[in-house]
Amino acid sequence: MPVIVANYLCAALLFCLGLFTLLTRRNLIKMVMGLSLMEASTYVLLLSLAYRPGSTAPVLLDMPPGKSPEQVADPVLQNFCLTAIVIGVAVTGVSLAVVVRLAQHYRTLDADEIRELRG
Amino acid sequence: MKERNHRPAVGWVCTLATAAVLAVVVFSLPRGTGPLPAIARYAMQVALPRWGTTEPVSEIVYGTRGFDTFGETFLLLAAVVGVAIVARSREARRGFIGEEVAGRREEAAVDKPDGPPSRDERVAERAEEQERGDESETAPDTPDRTPIGAPGPETAEAMTVVVRASVRFAAPILTIAGLYLVAVGYSPGGGFPAGAAMLGVALLAYVSLGYRRVEPVLRPDVVEPIELAGALAIAGLGLAGLLLAGSFLANILPLAAPETILSGGTMQAFSVVEFVEVATGLIIAVFGLLGMRDEWCR
């Protein structure tokens, strides 16, 4: 099995862990952590998709001898990973702020006890 | 406390189903043997001639896909504004709306200044006194002044002289490393990681020196105008490209020689403004979360 498939499996495993956390935990902080795990799995997946066997980093400065600008990891997917990280930070930040306010208002972190969240 | 599982059966079934789908998909994903996609090859080709930079990733982030980064920046700004609004303290009401006049008669009925204090009044007075007592017990500035053998958890805001000296040593190095990432735009780096490094410096200063020492620099009314000026500058750069060069965020600055600090034209300017934007945005969000006061519930 090629190494890169292990990377993909790792991303899938991280996603499933995050999903399981989100589905079975009712502690709001743990649910945000599950969401972050799912976000992290996209970083692993995007960077693994950028992989090319025997390639070098997509930097034109001091390209190693014997490598051409064609033999590089995909820079577009690295850009996507950067975008994903920023969006992950935004989602986590806003969720945590809301969680702190919920905890202050209802005196609990248990999503089941916050009855107004039931719909 | 043992945490109970919430609907474990549903959780397991959904997770295993997702895992099964992912497992099938994972083995049919590309394994990097194909050629680079056209857009990646395009980025590698135009990086040097069009933008004068040797860093294709930065070229994509701030050049070829600059509009994507533009949207991402404003998404981050929206999140920062959201955190700032949710985390903001309740503001003092301005002006007089007549509650004093309306309440005077009721107050006179309850509070008889001549009579002995009622039971409620005594309870309230005692509670007030106790609270005042809590406040007067101020902590020393740093734990260095705490007498040896003093009880209890440390209450000082700053950390010990060892930590403060280490941070004073490390913070300038980290600052320069962060600025290097954004200034030397022709090698990997750029505004996003540099902004995150600045947040790290701010947090180091905060935990070691205490909020009172960093407050003059990191107060919201200092950082927020800088953040919004950065957002305006990004929009201005984009519009200038649209007006002068025909497309949003197109290069309008003269290209310097490659592998110099000024190389990259508009791309490098965008990266620097993005650094300001990310650093101040993260600082507002994190310090907003740290400074959330418990005041909504009473």
Question: Does residue A63 lie in a domain region?
Answer: no
Per-chain mean pLDDT for chain A: 89
Would you say residue B107 lies in a domain?
no
Instruction: Inform me whether the C-beta atom of residue A113 falls under 8 Å from chain B C-beta atoms.
Output: no
Examine residue B266 and state whether it is found in any structural domain, yes or no. Answer: yes
Q: Return averaged pLDDT per consecutive 10 residues of chain B, 298 residues in all.
A: 77 94 90 85 87 88 91 95 88 70 77 71 80 59 75 76 93 95 87 94 93 88 94 94 91 85 88 95 93 66
Residue A34 lies in a domain: yes
Which of A16, A24, A53 comes nearest B19 by C-beta? A16
Closest A-chain CA to B77: A90
- A56 has which bridge partners? A72
Give me the residues of A, 26-65, that contact B with CB < 8 A.
Answer: 26-27, 49, 51-53, 55, 57-61
A60 within a domain of the structure (yes/no) = no
User: Is B1 a domain residue?
Assistant: no
How high is the pLDDT of residue B24? 92
Q: Identify whether B210 is part of a domain.
A: yes
Q: Is residue B242 part of a domain?
A: yes
Of A8, A24, A76, the CB nearest to B11: A24
Q: What is the pLDDT of residue B31?
A: 84
Q: Is residue A104 part of a domain?
A: yes
Measured distance CA(B254)–CA(B266) in Å, rounded:
8
The answer to whether position A109 is within a domain reads yes
The answer to whether A67 contacts chain B (CB < 8 Å) is no
B47 and A60 in contact by Cβ < 8 A? Answer: yes
Q: Identify the domain containing residue B64 by its residue range.
A: 37-88+160-290
Count of domains in chain A? 1
Let me know if residue B102 belongs to a domain: no
- What percent of chain A is modeled with pLDDT above 70? 97
Give residue B102's pLDDT. Answer: 78
Chain segment A92-115, per-residue pLDDT in tens: 999 999 999 888 888 888 888 887
Query: pTM value?
Result: 0.82
With respect to residue B82, please indicate whether it lies within any of the assigned structural domains.
Answer: yes
Residue A93 is assigned to a structural domain of this protein: yes
For residue B51, how many other CB atoms are within 10 A of its CB? 27
Give how many domains chain B has, as a whole number. Answer: 1
pLDDT score of B298:
45
Domain that holds residue A94: 2-55+71-113
Checking B164-171 for CB contacts under 8 A at 24+ apart, the result is B164/B208, B164/B209, B166/B208, B167/B204, B167/B205, B167/B208, B167/B209, B170/B204, B171/B201, B171/B204, B171/B205
Q: Give the relative orientation of helices B191-209 and B211-218 as an angle to the nearest 10 degrees.
A: 140
In a domain, A17, yes or no: yes
Contact A24 B7 (CB under 8 A): yes
More reliable by pLDDT, B102 or A82: A82
pLDDT digits (tens, 9 = 90+) for A43-79: 999 999 998 888 888 888 777 787 777 788 899 999 9
The answer to whether residue A103 is domain-embedded is yes
CATH code of A45's domain: 1.10.287.3510
Instruction: Measure CB to CB from residue A60 to each of B54, B69, B278 and give the nearest one.
Output: B54
Q: Is residue B197 part of a domain?
A: yes
